[in-house]
Amino acid sequence: MSDAFLFAALLTAATARGATPLVLAALGGLFAERAGVVDIGLEGKMLASAFAAAASAAMTGSAWIGLGAGIVAAVMVSLLHAFACVTHHGNQVVSGMALNITLSGLTAVLGYAWFHEGSQTPLLGPGARFGPIELPGATALGNVPALGPIYREIVNGHNVLVYIAAAAVPVVAWIVYRTRFGLRLRAVGESPGAVDTAGISVAATRYRALVLSGVLCGLSGAYLSIAHHASFIRDMSAGKGYLALAALIFGQWRPVPTLGACLLFAFADAVQARLQGTELPLVGVMPVQLIQALPYVLTVLLLAGFVGRAVAPAAIGVPYVKER
Amino acid sequence: MAAASRAFSWRLRALRWVAQAVLPVANLALALLLSGLVVLAVGENPGRALWLLASGAFGSVEAIGYTLYYATSFVFTGLAVAVAFHAGLFNIGAEGQAYLGGLGVALLCLGAGGWPTTLVVAAAIVVAAVAGAAWAFVPAWLQAQRGSHVVITTIMFNFIAAALMTHLLVNVLIKPGQQSPETREFAPSTWLPQLHDVARALGWEIGHSPVNLSLVLALAAGALVWLYLWRTRWGYELRALGHNRTAAVYGHIRPARTIIVAMSISGALAGLMSLNEVMGVQHRLLLNFTGGAGYVGIAVALMGRNHPVGIVLAAVLFGALYQGGSELSFDMPTLTRDMVVVIQGLIILVCGALEHALRSPVEALLRS
């Protein structure tokens, strides 16, 4: 096997791992925003889930209980967002930022007080986190020319949440475009008045959308702390919630293009990690700190270049007041 | 009949004013109550925590000085967020704009060792404002011309500013032969005078604390912001755009230009925050010297209802939270200073997003 193939395989696998939390969070945001609720609180939900998952996995020794706790925590944060924005018609961006700031502090305070390891949770053992999965026939099929190595090196050997993220894209697309709930969801985001007239509750639909957003952010946050890493580290989401939101906008609020945007961000990050310390043409060795800013610069460029014409759900950000 | 209706409208207006004053207090009480639950979850006594917080912030002249020193930064960032809010923009980038303002101030102070202090101060005000405005200009231009959402671009610019400043401090500006990433100390002639020195020159003794002349600048900035927003045509255009874009365009207000002006003023105010920290206290450029002041500015602006007077009051409250919070973590080691971040987030939630939740109960209470 050539070095070039191995390098490409490593890069692709790193892209898949890096894209997983982005895809899960962005799909969560897709439900919320398609229902007309701005979901800038993805970051906070991810942090809540990452902390709850790592803390519960550390105490019970089970990754699955950790995952469950992470989802419950993220759904609770999502419900708080719904309470402020749907029930009380609050400003959605302000509510999301408030939750992000609160969770950033809360996870650090609780982590420090409960585990006495400087805002970290204890390091998780093998059973308490999701390890790589050997797919059936990876070794046997690995010798098949061309496709075999791709299956063995790239598709095989990730943890379960990576495969869940991959499966989530078609499932979410099916829910949004092919189910009755999906139709109502999109209608609530485009024209809540019409939905209300048809006798469907706008508030209930938006609450359901935010619960789904919480579930997906729960998966995303748990991935960070009990699959990708082996403990909770303060502020470990490091802007991934915002990147996911940018990917959602860049993907024009559609599942498959959003997946593409997430892969692009993850690829930039994977390249970034491998560029550190290498000589580049024209500029020489780039300082590590500047290379690390690459995904953020890319986000600004993408939003500036292409999204000017993106059509957001018509009712996004607007609280629905029935009596008007 | 007319008299009765006039009396009624007067009562309504009085009611609104009382509600304006009572609501923030009720919101604060709710946020503190929720924070108390967090203190309970950590296994400490919330009442004692509140007492330690309050006495740590106001218990002595020194403590009050520290509270005002923190408040100075928050007045600047709070005004920054508020100006953008009035134009209908949510500037989350005050943190990065203040960081870049600090870069400008530091470069000036490093190079201006021989200048007279008044000249350095005047130049630093300009440089801090211009650097902060420049960092806000790009997201503003992108919002105005390309429609890229200013919330996301300013967040990204915070990350980019952090990366840029880490690079500059670690690789370029670091004092040679030292480990920690910070510049060399500025010449004393470029320091902003601290208030206890000024007071001593006037014959008073006040406690030793880092509160400095930038407090006066912050109050002046508040007055100027008030004049600009409510007493000039430009301020009117800015607020008109924030209230109703369609009506503003109908009234020949150019949204693109107004957005860029509003964000630049916002960035300039955020940049001025660095005068307090870099020039008034640290006398060198440090990593992360902003310490989250940009995010506190959001809470301060919301709590102060985007009015300079409210912002000054809210900034003192948050200064007290920061000062009292560090005393609190000293006396209650299980509670870290992140507790202040929790309170700050809850205040934004309650004052900003849940502002309507408490309004009707408060108004009903006042009416009865």
Rounded Cα distance between A35 and B346, Å, is: 25
pLDDT band at A249, cuts 50/70/90?
Answer: confident
pLDDT at A91: 84
Q: Which of A112-126, A182-196, B161-175 has the lowest mean pLDDT?
A: A112-126
Q: Residue B5 CA to chain centroid, in angstroms?
A: 41
More confident residue, B108 or A294: B108
CA dihedral (A120, A126, A128, A133) positive or negative: positive
Q: Say which amino acid occupies A70.
A: G
Q: Work out the average pLDDT over A198-209.
A: 92
- Please give the backbone phi and psi of residue B51, each rounded to the nearest 5 degrees, phi first: -65, -45
User: Minimal Cα–Cα distance from B361 to chain A, Å?
Assistant: 13
Residue B222 near residue B75, CB atoms below 8 Å: yes
Q: What is the pLDDT of residue B42?
A: 83
DSSP structure class, residue B286: B
**In CATH, what is the architecture of B45-367?**
Orthogonal Bundle (1.10)
- pLDDT tens for A41-74 read 999 999 999 999 999 998 888 889 999 999 999 9
Residue A107, φ and ψ in degrees, nearest 5? -65, -35
Q: What pLDDT was estimated at residue A6? A: 79
For B151, the closest chain A residue by CA position comes to: A93
User: How far is the alpha carbon of B39 from chain A, nearest alpha carbon, in Å?
Assistant: 9
Segments making up each domain of chain A, as ranges: 3-309
Query: Rounded CA gap, A153 and B278, in Å?
Result: 51
Task: Tell me which chain B residue has its CA closest to the CA of residue A92.
Answer: B353
Domain ranges of chain B: 45-367
Q: Tell me what pLDDT residue B146 has.
A: 83
- Spatial CB neighbours of B242, under 8 Å, sequence gap ≥ 6: B85, B86, B87, B88, B89
Q: Please tell me the predicted confidence (pLDDT) of residue B275.
A: 94
DSSP string, B298-329: HHHHHHTTT-HHHHHHHHHHHHHHHHHHHHHH
Q: pLDDT, tens digit, for every residue of A207-225? A: 999 999 999 999 999 999 9
> How much is the pLDDT for A1?
54
Closest to A251 (Cα-Cα) out of A46, A13, A27, A21: A27
Contact A94 B43 (CB under 8 A): no
State the CATH architecture for A3-309.
Orthogonal Bundle (1.10)
Q: Which two tokens stand for residue A219?
A: 């998966």
B147, B153, B354: residue with CB nearest A90:
B354
* Tokens found for residue B296: 């506190």
* pLDDT number for residue B319: 93
What chain B residue is nearest to A305 in terms of C-alpha separation?
Answer: B146
Q: How far is A154 from chain B (nearest CA, A)?
A: 31
- What residues of A are in contact with residue B142 (Cβ under 8 Å)? 300, 303-304
In sequence order, the β-bridge partners of residue B212 are B194
Question: How would residue A171 be classed by pLDDT, with cut points 50, 70 and 90?
Answer: very high
CB within 8 Å: B152 and A242? yes
Alpha-helix runs per DSSP H in A232-293: 240-250, 255-275, 288-292
Q: What is the mean pLDDT of chain A?
A: 85
Inter-chain Cβ pairs, chain A and chain B, closer than 8 A: 160
DSSP result, B204-247: --------BTHHHHHHHHHHHHHHHHHHSHHHHHHHHHHH-HHH
Please give the pLDDT value at position A310: 61
* B171 vs A contacts (CB less than 8 Å): 287, 289
Tokens matching residue A33 = 């925003």
Higher confidence at residue B24 or residue A169?
A: A169
- Is residue B329 within 8 Å of residue B339, measured between CB atoms? yes
Q: What is the DSSP string of A168-227?
A: HHHHHHHHHHHSHHHHHHHHHHH-HHHHHHTT--HHHHHHHHHHHHHHHHHHHHHHIIII
Position B3 scores a pLDDT of: 67
Distance CA A255, CA A258 (A): 5
* pLDDT averaged per 10 residues, chain B (length 368): 66 70 82 88 86 89 92 96 93 94 94 86 95 96 87 90 91 82 86 84 81 93 96 93 90 92 96 94 90 88 90 93 87 82 87 77 72
Type of residue found at B133: A
Q: Which amino acid is at A47?
A: L
C-alpha–C-alpha distance, residues A132 and A141, integer Å:
18
Can you read off the two tokens belonging to residue B335?
Answer: 């509670």
CB A195, CB A188: distance < 8 Å:
yes
